[in-house]
Amino acid sequence: MEHIITPTANKLLASLPPNEFDHLVPKLEQVELAFGKKIFDRGERIGHVYFPISTVTTLLTVGPLDLTLEIGLVGPEGILGLPVIAGDKVAPYCAVAQANGTALRMSAEDFEIEYSNAETLQRIILRFSYVKMVQASLASACHRFHETEKRLVRWILMTSDRIATSEILVTRDFLTKILGERPETVDRAFASLENRNLIKYSRNRLVIPDRVALEAAACKCYKIIRDEDDNFMPAQETAERSTVPSSIYTLGGKKTPPIAVL
């Protein structure tokens, strides 16, 4: 049975003023994303932009010999598929769903039209793009200068933050892609964290037993990136969120009651 959600569970959508929000929402459709689903690969056409609700996506840059490296995450705080606003519908990176969950999506063509006509949306997207650019720069420096274990902890915490749970799904194979490391290097980092009881891992499920202890094991990049996310919405946009009507939303042409999942 389809889980009905409200668009305001996405922080970026929730920050829009009522006139822009009401215009945009009817063009959204609800989709369920499965853990591990590749939403788009580098070089593929971006057919939709996504507003995650209860899922998170990892962005991977793809280098020579198809080597990959994590450059950021996008969850309910933002939007996925931003190259379309630059007039480029070809993905420059790979995006993979990191949790079973819900997102709202809109065709790239519809979003271009909405974006060109919505002043607040433009301002928020510009700010979001800036934050993601800063975070991608920090991630690059992190991968260059910090040890595998601390980078792994940073990614675990960032993923956990976005889906608001202490249990996340991940395969060791995917971790090698995120960290750009050999499997044996990732295994050593994993074993070190497990031996200190900072994580528990079984059948692709990773559990954080002690959040405070795990944060202490992360590199400083985690807190810097988290602070960037926390400062994403300026006070003005946050204040406007409360004026969004909460009676009935028309989603993809259907009337749906507003049931929050977050």
Nearest in space to 260 (alpha carbons), one of 107, 124, 76, 15: 76
Work out how close the CB of 159 gets to Zn ion at its nearest, in angstroms, rounded to a whole number. Answer: 15
Closer to Zn ion by Cβ: residue 31 or 224? 224
Return the percent helix, strand and coil in the chain, to nearest 5: 45, 20, 30
Work out how close the CB of 183 gets to Zn ion at its nearest, in angstroms, rounded to a whole number. Answer: 21
Looking at residues 33 to 72 of the shown chain, list those that interact with Zn ion (rule: CB under 5 A): none
Closer to Zn ion by Cβ: residue 167 or 227? 227
- Told to check if 146 binds Zn ion by CB under 5 A, we report yes
Query: Distance between CA 37 and CA 100 in Å, rounded?
Result: 9
Looking at residues 215 to 254 of the shown chain, list those that interact with Zn ion (rule: CB under 5 A): 219, 221
The single residue listed with the structure tokens 């200068």 is 145
Angle between helices 119-145 and 221-230 (to 10 degrees): 180
Closer to Zn ion by Cβ: residue 133 or 141? 141
Work out how close the CB of 147 gets to Zn ion at its nearest, in angstroms, rounded to a whole number. Answer: 9
Work out how close the CB of 195 gets to Zn ion at its nearest, in angstroms, rounded to a whole number. Answer: 21
Work out how close the CB of 151 gets to Zn ion at its nearest, in angstroms, rounded to a whole number. Answer: 6
Work out how close the CB of 250 gets to Zn ion at its nearest, in angstroms, rounded to a whole number. Answer: 43
- CA dist list (Å): 34 to 37, 39, 94, 98: 6, 10, 16, 8
Work out how close the CB of 218 gets to Zn ion at its nearest, in angstroms, rounded to a whole number. Answer: 8
State the first-to-last Cα distance of the chain, in angstroms, to the nearest integer: 18
Closer to Zn ion by Cβ: residue 140 or 256? 140
Work out how close the CB of 143 gets to Zn ion at its nearest, in angstroms, rounded to a whole number. Answer: 8
- Told to check if 261 binds Zn ion by CB under 5 A, we report no
Query: Distance between CA 187 and CA 213 in Å, rounded?
Result: 20
Closer to Zn ion by Cβ: residue 6 or 159? 159
- Told to check if 9 binds Zn ion by CB under 5 A, we report no
Residues 6+ apart with CB under 8 A from 252: 26, 27, 28, 29, 30
Give 113-157 as a DSSP string: HHHHH-HHHHHHHHHHHHHHHHHHHHHHHHHHHS-HHHHHHHHHH
Residues 6+ apart with CB under 8 A from 128: 12, 78, 79, 82, 232
Nearest in space to 61 (alpha carbons), one of 81, 91, 28: 91
Closer to Zn ion by Cβ: residue 79 or 139? 139
For Zn ion, the binding residue among 142, 157, 189, 233 (CB under 5 A) is: 142
Closer to Zn ion by Cβ: residue 107 or 140? 140
Judged by the rule CB under 5 A, the positions of this chain that interact with Zn ion are: 142, 146, 219, 221
